[in-house]
Amino acid sequence: MELSVETLAMTLLALAGGYLCGSVPFGLLFTRMAGLGDIRAIGSGNIGMTNVLRTGNKGLAALTLLADALKGTLPVLLALWWGRQNAMGPYPAMGAGLGAFLGHLYPVWLGFKGGKGVATYLGVLLGLAWPGFLVFVAAWVGCAVVTRISSLSALIATLAVPIVLLLFGYGPIAWFFLLMSLIVYAKHHANIRRLLDGTEPRMGQKREAAG
């Protein structure tokens, strides 16, 4: 499908709207409302579910995971509906998804220092290509059961997603998730370094920081 000026404009608008949704720091807001202080002062300093879990509040961590995923899914579904109504294809939805993803990674409200994006990646995936969502979950769970390393499981899952989407003919959406997967890998550079060194902690193992 040719990317018209109207489609490009709507994609950029969806990107901006998605960014605003994605930049809401739910992990920080939830922990503050629960009286747990600033989540950025503990563990890795990130605002995502993994760091919220280090407060010991599993329910709050699960709520953060859900909220961080939905802030990717909802803008994508809205933009996908709009794109279909106006014969724009998936491009506005991809713009919204990328915006939400970048908003979580680089929220303007927190000096552009956010999370690592896995939950929001998963939410965008659910909205744009639900079979890829199933692939992600299966790959993550399988790797987690074998290795008990959360970061490695996320890296394996985000590697599997664009490959499977390409094999199933998802075209531009597959390449879009390849881009997002590369960003996830870049954000996990410290984890990758520890994995190579054999020092990355396993799930349930305490540590001072997660990187």
pLDDT at 211 > cutoff 50: no
Spatial distance between the Cα atoms of 94 and 5, rounded to a whole number of angstroms: 16
| DSSP string across 142-206 | HHHHHH--HHHHHHHHHHHHHHHHHHTT-THHHHHHHHHHHHHHHHTHHHHHHHHHT-PPPTT--
The secondary structure of 7-18 as a DSSP string is HHHHHHHHHHHH
Q: Each residue of 81-120: pLDDT tens digit?
A: 998 888 888 999 999 999 999 999 999 999 999 989 999 9
Q: State which amino acid sits at residue 102.
A: L
Mean pLDDT of 128-149: 95
For the cut 60, the answer to whether the pLDDT of residue 210 exceeds it is no
Please choose, from the candidates 90, 94, 99, the residue with its C-alpha nearest in 3D space to the C-alpha of residue 71: 99
At 206 the pLDDT is 52
Residue 78: alpha-carbon gap to chain centroid: 18
